[in-house]
Amino acid sequence: LEVLKEYPGDGLHVDTLLDSDSHGALTYNDFLILPGSITFPASDVSLETRVTRRFTIKAPLLSSPMDTVTEHSMAIHMALLGGLGVIHNNCPPDEQAEMVRKVKRYENGFIQDPIVLSPETTVGEAKELKTKWGFGGFPVTEKGTLHSKLLGIVTSRDIQFHKNHEDPVTAVMATDLVTAPAGTTLAEANEVLRSSKKGKLPIVDKDGSLISLLSRSDLMKNIHYPLASKLPSKQLLCAAAISTHDADKVRLQKLVDAGLDIVVVDSSQGHSVFQIAMIKYIKQTFPDIDVIGGNIVTREQAAALIAAGADGLRIGMGSGSACITQEVMAAGRPQAAAVRSVSAFAARFGVPTIADGGVQNLGHIVKGLALGASAVMMGSLLAGTTESPGEYFMSSEGQLVKAFRGMGSIAVMEDKSKSGAGKNAGASRYFSENDKVKVAQGVAGSVIDRGSITQYVPYLVAGVQHSLQDIGVQNLDALREGVNSGTVRFEMRS
């Protein structure tokens, strides 16, 4: 150790590494992070991080708002696993709002707005509701509304094999109910559920009227998904994308009404008068909604969006695997240089950043985080999973695959089937909706089946934990502090 003091420190400081005058602008593949000293197990590494000014998640992973990546199933499971899914907007507003509702209804503490049936509701209608929402336990009240006298509960078992769909639900509902009085705490209610072994616990007032509901399935989700991204209400955190067009103000209202927490203003080039105006409108009209702006790659772009009120920034232009903006438009920036430059600037204002694009493997996730990003957004890495939209098919090579397409691909920009009214989220994202000739800034193809993200995301989380263990830091704040101070060093690779 005494001899070691005769030598300068190994490797490069991050500012030396990313000195574009010396090395040019770098991508993730151009460098490595030097290992540090291991003094703790990988399981002790915390990956908790802010994704906007107000919201924190336990895993720094987001799914991209692409129509072959994130709909409600992906958003639900990303949130359950500690990350966040951003629901795409290449669909009619009502359809996107319905996806937000499915995310918000998937897990709850006390369910303040349960779906309530009336005595006249038929078994067939109850089955349709079960198919629509994915669950089958519905309280029945005298008036079919909340704050009405509770009569019973209809469960999946009650209606599953009942042959006459025209019978009222009162013919099959359970009436031997266990209830809890108003004022019961969540901990007390969970204990009643455990001891009663019932599937649902209605909360009633002194007159026996239903005021809220608790579900055993939500209790089990708390046990199985301890990292879940949730609000104090126990609902899953939900994000969705909109465009910069004035027409999407109507879309946003529908999303907010459905329970949206975070809106992502989705544009290939975020530094525009359209996005600045939209961010200002959102912050003035919906102060309780956090706004993520982008995409950007320079400090100048970041400054404009932060000044407009952005609560988070997406970094990346042309670096995604299905994006060819840099080649076609000659505009963009290598991702490593972009992430470091923007993140260092945004940190001075307390604005988290999301490294979006260029993530081809687990190591790229770690590099994005080391360069200052609070989280990393993925598209192609998640596109082939069970939870991504679309059906599997067999490729010509005999492999099980799913379709994957960039939102700037001709396939998306000319697809009028999704957004309705002739509008298209891909075209609007690239400011091409009125162009007679479309210029592709993305490609379409397929990705190999990766199985379920319930196995894949925990693998990514464990991999990042082991990487930080190798580097010698126990959390993301320590990683960024080490990079800034020079104790975490880098090296160029050939």
Q: Do residues 222 and 108 lie in contact, with contact meaning Cβ atoms separated by under 8 Å? A: no
Whether 266 has a binding-site annotation, put simply, is yes
Q: Look up 238 and say whether it is catalytic.
A: no
My answer on whether omega of the bond before 295 falls inside 30° of 0, hence cis, is yes
Whether 238 has a binding-site annotation, put simply, is no
Whether 66 has a binding-site annotation, put simply, is no
Whether 379 has a binding-site annotation, put simply, is no
Q: Name residue, tokens 């987001």.
A: 62
Q: What gap in Å lies between CA 248 and CA 92, rounded to an integer?
A: 10
Q: Look up 101 and say whether it is catalytic.
A: no
Q: What gap in Å lies between CA 143 and CA 148, rounded to an integer?
A: 6
Whether 317 has a binding-site annotation, put simply, is yes
- Residue 364 DSSP label: H
**At 333, which amino acid appears?**
R
Whether 420 has a binding-site annotation, put simply, is no
> DSSP H helical segments within 5-141, as ranges?
14-17, 20-23, 72-80, 93-106, 123-133
Question: Quick one: residue 415, left, alpha or beta (phi over 0 = left, psi -120 to 50 = alpha)?
Answer: beta
How many angstroms separate the Cα of 285 from the Cα of each of 237, 290, 352?
20, 12, 22
Query: Which listed residue (238, 323, 450, 489) is catalytic?
Result: 323
Q: Do residues 241 and 426 lie in contact, with contact meaning Cβ atoms separated by under 8 Å? A: no
Query: Which listed residue (50, 251, 333, 429) is catalytic?
Result: 429
> What is the per-residue DSSP string for 52-78?
SSS-EESS-EEE---TTT-SHHHHHHH
Phi, psi of 241 (to 5 degrees): -100, 150
Q: From the CB of residue 35, how many other CB atoms can be counted at a distance below 10 Å?
A: 14
**At 47, which amino acid appears?**
L
Q: Give the active site residues.
A: 323, 429
List the binding residues: 266-268, 316-318, 320, 323
List the binding residues for NAD(+): 266-268, 316-318
List the binding residues for K(+): 318, 320, 323
